[in-house]
Chain A
Amino acid sequence: MAWNLNADKPIYTQLVEIIQTQIISGRYKAGDRLPSVRELAAEASVNPNTMQKAFAELERNGLIVTQRTSGRTVTEDIELINQTQAHLAEECINNFFQTMKELGYSEKEILKLIEKATEEVE
Chain B
Amino acid sequence: METLAEIKGLTKSYGKTLAVNNMNLIIPRGKIIGLLGPNGSGKTTLIKMMNGLLTPTAGSISINGCAPGITTKARIAYLPERTYLQDGMRVCDIVDYFSDFYKDFNRNTAFTMLQSLNISFTARLKTLSKGTKEKVQLILVMSRNADLYILDEPIAGVDPAARDYILKTIISNYNENASILLSTHLISDIENVLDEVIFIRDGQVMAHLTVDQIREEYGRSVDSYFREVFAC
A and B pair up? yes
Q: A interface vs B, CB < 8 Å?
A: 2, 5, 7-12, 38-39, 41-42, 44-50, 53
CB-based nearest B residue for A2: B164
Q: Which of B152-194 contact A (CB under 8 A)?
A: 164, 167-168, 171-172, 188, 192-194
Instruction: Tell me if B219 is interfacial: C-beta within 8 Å of chain A.
Output: yes
Cα A113 to Cα B215 in complex, Å, equals 35
Verify B192–A8 contact, CB threshold 8 A: no
A5 contacts which of B168, B192, B220 (Cβ < 8 Å)? B192
Inter-chain contact B215/A8, CB cutoff 8 Å = yes
Contact A47 B192 (CB under 8 A): yes
A11 and B215 in contact, given A38-B171, A45-B193 (Cβ under 8 angstroms): yes
* A44 smallest CB distance to B (angstroms): 8
With a cutoff of 8 Å between Cβ atoms, the chain B residues found around residue A12 in the complex are 212
| 30 A-B pairs (CB sep. < 8 Å) | A2-B164, A5-B192, A7-B223, A7-B224, A8-B215, A8-B219, A8-B220, A9-B215, A10-B215, A10-B216, A11-B192, A11-B211, A38-B172, A39-B172, A41-B172, A44-B192, A45-B164, A45-B167, A45-B168, A45-B192, A46-B171, A47-B32, A47-B171, A47-B192, A47-B193, A47-B211, A50-B192, A50-B195, A50-B211, A50-B212
Known: A5-B192, A46-B171, A50-B195. 19 other contacts (CB 8 A): A7-B188, A7-B223, A8-B215, A9-B215, A9-B219, A10-B212, A10-B215, A11-B215, A12-B212, A41-B172, A45-B164, A45-B167, A45-B192, A46-B193, A47-B194, A47-B211, A48-B171, A50-B211, A53-B212
CA A10 to CA B168, docked complex, whole Å = 20
A48 cross-chain contacts in B, Cβ below 8 A: 171
A2-B164 Cα distance, complex, nearest whole Å: 8
Q: In the bound complex, what is the Cα–Cα distance between A5 and B188 (angstroms)? A: 11
Within 8 Å CB of B144, what residues of A? none
